[in-house]
Amino acid sequence: MKHSGSCHCGKIAFELEGDIQDVIECNCSICRRKGSLLWFGPREALVLNTPESDLGTYTFNKHHLQHRFCTTCGISPFCEGDNPKSGTRMVAVNVRCLPDVDLKALNVTEYDGAKL
């Protein structure tokens, strides 16, 4: 299924190909503050419709993930990096930035990222 997503102001727009049913609610220091519900998939599933130069990037801790955000409205629609198990490129999309996704219909798994 194809989804269209964006930050709040629309400066960062993207399309995502994937069956979104299961998401992660992480309690790490950044996800807890952002309130993200994350869907993980291959990086190729996300296609930016705006220039990559419009994205801000924030990394922390081990700097494995590039948390992407809008420099205008501050919303972080996704992060990307290498899957630690396979080494392949992955993306974690904040499904709250996908207006067509029914958040109440998702299977939410809590992840204790605060322990890491």
Is 105 within a domain? no
Is 12 within a domain? yes
**Residue 100 structure tokens:** 């067509």
Structure-token match 């296609």, residue found: 47
Is 73 within a domain? yes
pLDDT per position as a tens digit, 36-49: 999 999 999 999 99
Give dist(CA 116, CA 27) in Å, integer: 10
Structure-token match 């997503």, residue found: 5
Q: Which range among 21-25, 73-77, 111-115 shows the weakest confidence by mean pLDDT?
A: 111-115
Is 53 within a domain? yes
What is the tally of structural domains in the chain? 1
**Residue 37 structure tokens:** 């519900």
Is 108 within a domain? no
Compute CA distances 47 → 5, 26, 108, whole Å.
10, 24, 24
Please give the share of the chain, as a percent, with pLDDT higher than 90.
Answer: 84
Domain that holds residue 89: 2-99
Is 115 within a domain? no
Task: Tell me the whole-structure pTM to 2 decimals.
Answer: 0.92
Is 113 within a domain? no
DSSP 12: S
Backbone dihedral angles phi then psi of residue 102, each to the nearest 5 degrees: -80, 105
Give dist(CA 28, CA 31) in Å, integer: 5
CATH number of the domain bearing residue 29:
2.170.150.70
pLDDT per position as a tens digit, 13-24: 999 999 999 999
pLDDT band at 116 (very low <50, low <70, confident <90, very high): low
pLDDT(62) > 80? no
Is 34 within a domain? yes
